[in-house]
Structure 1
């Protein structure tokens, strides 16, 4: 049996008891011992009816094609040979609006911001305790965000909009505002508004800093 599929098979579990918090959670991670511990807690706390584990983005996409009703994805940032955040682009292509929480051994603010900018509804470091995991699961299951370690300005948007990402890409290509207006068929005022929101989101003070931060976060 393929190693990745073996890990997936080994992690399929059903929780006992009544009324679990979520019906189905997909964990995307390639560390077997961590998967075993995480699955055990989810079961013991009666948080999930069914837990499925896969070790790659490709396996996650395959699983989601068959189970689009998945309640939540728990995603590692760094998988073997690929970036975990690449799953967000795949989700967009599948048209499957499953919320994602990043669970990672990387706890720096840049990684947390990258997860948030990509569209994750939460971020939990692997060093977090059981109580934090339970609190995260309960919060995101009720439709709330979970970013306890990230200090963000009150005016920061939840994530960049598709239009703001388009403006950001053109900004990174060195286009001036007037040219961005022409390419996107927007007024100059609208472009300036988008740029202001992008700068605030990335905590940047000028165009150069904005592009550098966006690249560091993997947005462009």
Structure 2
């Protein structure tokens, strides 16, 4: 069984982080330590899937990360700090650094961030100038949407990918589209370009044989995918009541930015004719 390593100098905070991630005990071994003994304790047996590293300053981070990697060999590292914002250069750190979170984040967000990184994603704050996107994400967090999405176990994600015949990345795009995210916000959330997001969306639509966001969500739920909702009842309720016109293949996206590349090519071709 793989492990989740927690490095936090304050005993109470360390205990709190362990408690916040307790739901992962069935899948991972939770281990914690402080800086004083970080190089004395060498984890044995369990491979370190993610290391939650609490830092008090960004100084000397370039030297600390290699030392941490040497001690634990983590697949990924999630940084915790008191600062609400982080220097942009943090995202240029070595590959294991896959996320950053303010230490005062609520337990649900910490757990969601850890699950996202474990799934192979990245978890960095949005740029400061993207205020509208940030407000929208904050609204999702308040409503519990992010927790609902990320609480889906990795095994369930694999099963639903197989049911739908889509890749894990296409599934991530579908889950966010189902939450009403426009293409631009999906790209920001997944840290990929808008063009790449549209390409994934186009491929997703082709695999599901649909032409719109609503139809894709409806078909996915109809096939038995929960798309991160707590249960199938919630998913079906959403599909039946929030998406009443989902079966209409002509149902449009919410705005022009959401139209996939395939639809743009069709429009361009019709103009030429």
Query: What is the TM-score normalised by the length of structure 2?
Result: 0.40
Q: Where is the strand percentage greater, Structure 1 or Structure 2?
A: 1
Of the two structures, which has the highest relative contact order with CA contacts closer than 8 Å and spacing of 6 or more?
1
Greater Rg by CA: 2
Query: What is the TM-score normalised by the length of structure 1?
Result: 0.48
